[in-house]
Amino acid sequence: MHVLDSSAFINDYTTDEQLATIPLVREELESEAGYRFDALEGSGMRIHIPDPETVERVKRAARETGDAETLSRTDIRLLATAFELDGVLVTDDYAMQNVADKLDTAVEVIAQEGIDERRDWNYQCQGCGRTFDEHHERCQICGSDLERKRP
């Protein structure tokens, strides 16, 4: 089962494998890519809604890798769907690939190269230099902006 991200529809991804996606992907698509979604749905593509417990598991994994702030609601649910269906996530999104690797979920890329390795991120204060494992808008010590960094 191949689970399709918006980029799969935009880039006219094709495969002979069974297809699945989530309703939120349709909302992201416009014009021709949206028509392609409708056509694939009409020809048997599975529309899946992941279990809330799986969504929470994906959110935990994203927090662990430091990608939680970069993933959209759609991204998280696509990852949960690929995990639940034991499918291959089809995406060019690097943060999604990173979290998929953490979840041991297979990924197929479309128009770009995939990730070489999983990265865990932390956040460094631009004022005092302290590092934090979780993202906050401002440093809890001095109030300066935080920047995502690789440890």
Q: What is the CATH number of domain 2-108?
A: 3.40.50.1010
Q: What is the CATH number of domain 121-151?
A: 2.20.28
In sequence order, the 6+-apart residues with CB closer than 8 A to the CB of 101 are 107, 115, 118
Q: Per-domain residue ranges for the chain?
A: 2-108, 121-151
Which helix (H) or strand (E) is 94 found in, with range?
Answer: helix 94-102
48 DSSP 8-state letter: -
* Mean pLDDT (10-residue bins), the chain, 151 residues: 93 92 91 82 94 98 91 97 98 93 94 61 82 78 81 66
pTM check: above 0.85: no
